Copies of this chain bind each other. A is one copy, B any other.
Amino acid sequence: MSGKDLPSRRIAEELRRRIAAGEFTEDGKDGKLPSERKLAADHDAARNTVREAIRQLAEQGLVDTHHGKGVFVRRRRQLLRFGDRYSKRLREETGVSPYRAELAKQGLTPRVDCPSITRVSPPSDVAERLGLSETDSTVARRENWYYAVGEGEEFPVQIGITYIPWEIAEGSVLSYSADMGKGSLYARFEDLGHPIAASREEVSARMPDPDEAEGLSIPDGVPVLEILHTGIDDQGRPFEVTKFVIRADVGGLDYTVPVKD
């Protein structure tokens, strides 16, 4: 046995069963569960006990609650898979960014927002990867928000914060313009003598902090993937670090890496 026989668990278990059976989602139904007060009466339990059960389901990502409306079965969206983001061939042949291509597979269109470009001191993890001193150097900081638009809804997918050593970015569009022109970011780096040759990606997962949860409208019980990406040029020099934060309920990663002998 893996769980104790408590009222809240029993109620949660029963709701899980009914959700799996499609009781709330079949035909014309909108996925709405009975109200907390009704469930409490049905199970002869206190409303707080039902709330505890629903909290367990929400934590598990099975339902969403909406104040004033009700509790709804969360419909599973197929994950977007991001990989191969830097290939020059892709960049030149298809003319569309990998982000756009992946969204297109699911009938979605991207919207990217670049709310700020600033000049700052690098955070310590970024400075370390760029081989810079944390205090004696500055970097250009470009913040990008990625959204997906489709079927009358728009939702945020990921945030990317790119740090570029100031001595590289200085004078280039990288340091001041949201629009980076044909071929986008990595074409500009190539112009500047840093063609991307390798990418290091350090991947972690964690719960979003409250600001991220709000900004990315992340439902309860959904973690984020955090990727610390370092761009490395043909000389082995790191020239750019980007910190991605991806909603794990809408996005994942897909790497195909050759294995070295």
Interface residues of A (CB under 8 A from B): 2-3, 59-61, 79, 81, 84, 86-89, 196-207, 209-211, 214, 221-225, 248-249, 252-261
Chain B residues with CB under 8 Å of A209's CB are 60
Chain B residues with CB under 8 Å of A254's CB are 200-203
Chain B residues with CB under 8 Å of A255's CB are 199-203, 255, 257
The smallest C-beta distance from A143 to any residue of chain B, in angstroms, reads 17
A-B pairs with lowest CB-CB distance, top 5? A223-B223, A205-B205, A205-B248, A203-B253, A204-B252
Quick one: which of B3, B59, B86, B222 contacts A259, CB cutoff 8 A? B86
**Known pairs A202-B253, A210-B2, A248-B205; A87 contacts B260 (CB<8 A):** yes
The smallest C-beta distance from A168 to any residue of chain B, in angstroms, reads 18
> B259 near A198 (CB under 8 angstroms)?
yes
| Interface CB pairs A-B, < 8 A, 10 | A2-B214, A79-B204, A199-B255, A200-B254, A200-B257, A201-B255, A205-B205, A206-B249, A255-B255, A258-B258
Chain B residues with CB under 8 Å of A198's CB are 256-259
Chain B residues with CB under 8 Å of A200's CB are 254-257
> B202 near A81 (CB under 8 angstroms)?
yes
> B89 near A199 (CB under 8 angstroms)?
no
A213 to B253: give the CA distance in the assembly, Å: 23
**Known pairs A3-B210, A198-B256, A223-B248; A89 contacts B203 (CB<8 A):** no
Whose C-beta in chain B lies nearest to the C-beta of A214?
B2
A259 to B86: give the CA distance in the assembly, Å: 6
Chain B residues with CB under 8 Å of A211's CB are 2
**Known pairs A88-B259, A255-B257, A260-B87; A225 contacts B203 (CB<8 A):** yes
> B2 near A60 (CB under 8 angstroms)?
no
Whose C-beta in chain B lies nearest to the C-beta of A221?
B207
Quick one: which of B197, B207, B225 contacts A59, CB cutoff 8 A? B207
